[in-house]
Amino acid sequence: MDSDGSARYAREAALELAARTLARRDLSRRALDSRLRKAGVTQELSAETVEGLAAERLVDDRRLATGRAAVLAGRGLGDAAIDARLAADGIDEPERREALSGLPPEQERARRLVAKLGGGSEKVAAGLYRRGFGPDAIEAALAALDDGSGAELR
């Protein structure tokens, strides 16, 4: 096989590997590049493959961040926890910020979670903190719990 043939084969193999990987789970550009590199694809070929897939919108960090943030918020996580998970998934900060801005306000989500879970204020505060809610959201949820308005959010 000549060098053109082997380069073509390498590109096809990298694309096939990327397609198999993305068929199982949507990944960020950075995560896909990492998977390709771990599988032995050269840095140049990995970057070329990821760029090509991104140009075809088969890899889309904005779409991934938005969808993943919504799922995580639906599981009762706060902004800090969602941001950390998105960062771990290889999503860059601008896309993470945009995804978080598209969610219902953190204070509203915290109040709903408190109304759903109930419990004493210390337990509620600790639970919200563990779920990545910020101090303002925790205070708002505790205030709603104290004045009974949290029940309206069920």
Q: How many helices (H) and strands (E) does the chain have?
A: 9, 0
Question: What is the Cα–Cα distance from 50 to 136, expressed in whole angstroms?
Answer: 39
Do 113 and 73 share a structural domain? no
Do 95 and 113 share a structural domain? no
**Residue 21 CA neighbour count, 13 Å, CB half:** 23
What is the residue-averaged pLDDT of the chain?
90
Do 122 and 93 share a structural domain? no
Do 76 and 33 share a structural domain? no
Burial call 44-79: b when 16+ CB within 10 Å, e when fewer: ebbeebbeebeeeeebbbeebbbebbeebbeebbbb
Number of domains in the chain: 3
Domain limits for position 117: 106-153
Do 94 and 120 share a structural domain? no
Do 37 and 69 share a structural domain? no
pTM attached to this predicted model: 0.83
Do 145 and 122 share a structural domain? yes
Angle, in degrees to the nearest 10, between helices 79-88 and 61-74: 140
Q: What is the pLDDT of residues 76-130, one digit of tens each?
A: 999 999 999 999 999 999 999 999 999 999 999 998 888 887 777 888 889 899 9
Do 138 and 120 share a structural domain? yes
Q: What is the pLDDT of residues 118-130, one digit of tens each?
A: 777 888 889 899 9
Question: What is the Cα–Cα distance from 107 to 59, expressed in whole angstroms?
Answer: 32
Question: What is the Cα–Cα distance from 120 to 14, expressed in whole angstroms?
Answer: 54
pLDDT band at residue 148 under the 50/70/90 scheme: low
Do 111 and 135 share a structural domain? yes
Is the separation of the CB atoms in 79 and 85 below 8 Å? no
